[in-house]
């Protein structure tokens, strides 16, 4: 059993922290909205802290699952003085590699370890304890953090040095953006050609066109249901990080840049909280 602080109880963090309790760990949580921390503590028989510093005090592991770089930085600033020597800090937020490297250095100065560990698998993956976790940092820190992450992760991979996990998450989002756009265009083409979309998907899903998005999202897309996963606002944040990094390293991401602008169109339609499959809404398949 380990003493764990979990900071950030959004749609991902709330069940992830719960899995830690189920795995036998002693968990103290903090959330910006205190009523959510209290609700979690009541549901899982854990502890709720009023501040990040209080949650982190004495913790062997400090886990973060927040929104964006400014959120991570503000929370880290708030608990930095409470970091115990030998603690392992694991950031599950999708943030920039530059921030990860900065916090790695600051953690090292405190005699602690830092692992950037963005997650993939969506709300369902968090609830089912089946997340994929891409990690950056020292091998020793990853080895210490891995048994903790196993409470909610099905696959944990150390990609490389600090920041590598965040860069790998950008690769993940780049690939998803292109796949969803292709699926949306294909379904739109089938509609305009007068084809039975269900029969088309049945025909092509066993071949090279098959993808997780096709298997899990084509029906909800066809029906105009866009409440099944990762929100457009968050996807645009992730694509912004990828595109900013590409400008720094010289990578060419023309499809990603185009899809990012298509998601901007979705936001303008009022779809900020629709899931990422809502690209089809641009082509007439509005929410039902």
Concerning whether 169 is annotated as a catalytic residue, the answer is yes
Q: Which residues pair with 88 in a beta bridge?
A: 61, 113
d(CA 287, CA 220): 10
User: What 3-state DSSP class applies to 205?
Assistant: coil
Single out the catalytic residue among 169, 199, 237, 286: 169
d(CA 180, CA 214): 8
Tokens of 69: 């770089």
Name the packing angle between helices 69-79 and 97-109 (round to 10°): 10
**Contact (Cβ atoms closer than 8 angstroms) between residue 81 and residue 103:** no
**Contact (Cβ atoms closer than 8 angstroms) between residue 281 and residue 274:** yes
DSSP string for residues in 67-133? SSHHHHHHHHHHHGGGPPTT-EEEE-S---HHHHHHHHHHHHHTT-EEEE--EESHHHHHHHT-EEE
* C-alpha distances in Å from residue 250, one per residue of 136, 174, 180, 243: 21, 15, 24, 10
Q: Which residues are catalytic?
A: 169
């Amino acid at each position: 059993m380990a003493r764990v602080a979990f900071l950030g109880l959004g749609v991902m963090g709330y069940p992830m922290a719960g899995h830690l309790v189920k795995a036998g760990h002693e968990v103290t949580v903090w959330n910006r909205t205190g009523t959510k921390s209290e609700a979690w503590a009541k549901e899982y028989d854990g502890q709720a802290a009023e501040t990040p510093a209080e949650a982190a005090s004495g913790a062997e592991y400090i886990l973060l699952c927040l929104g964006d770089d400014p959120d991570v930085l503000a929370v880290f600033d708030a608990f930095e003085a409470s970091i115990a020597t030998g603690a392992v800090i694991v950031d599950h937020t999708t943030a920039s590699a530059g921030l990860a490297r900065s916090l790695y250095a600051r953690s090292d100065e405190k005699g602690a370890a830092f692992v950037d560990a963005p997650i993939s698998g969506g709300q369902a993956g968090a609830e089912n304890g089946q997340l994929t976790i891409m990690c950056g940092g020292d091998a020793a820190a990853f080895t210490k953090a891995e048994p903790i992450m196993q409470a909610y992760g099905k696959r944990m991979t150390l990609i490389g040095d600090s920041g590598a996990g965040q860069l790998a998450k950008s690769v993940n989002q780049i690939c998803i953006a292109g796949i969803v756009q292709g699926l949306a265009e294909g379904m739109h083409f089938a509609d305009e050609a007068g084809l039975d979309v269900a029969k088309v998907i049945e025909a092509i899903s066993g071949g090279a066109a098959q993808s997780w998005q096709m298997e899990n999202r084509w029906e909800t897309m066809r029906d105009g249901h866009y409440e099944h996963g990762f929100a457009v606002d968050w996807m645009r944040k992730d694509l912004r990080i990828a595109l900013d990094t590409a400008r720094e390293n010289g990578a060419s991401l023309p499809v990603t840049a185009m899809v990012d602008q298509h998601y901007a169109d979705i936001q303008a339609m009022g779809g900020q909280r629709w899931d990422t499959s809502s690209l089809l809404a641009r082509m007439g398949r509005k929410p039902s």
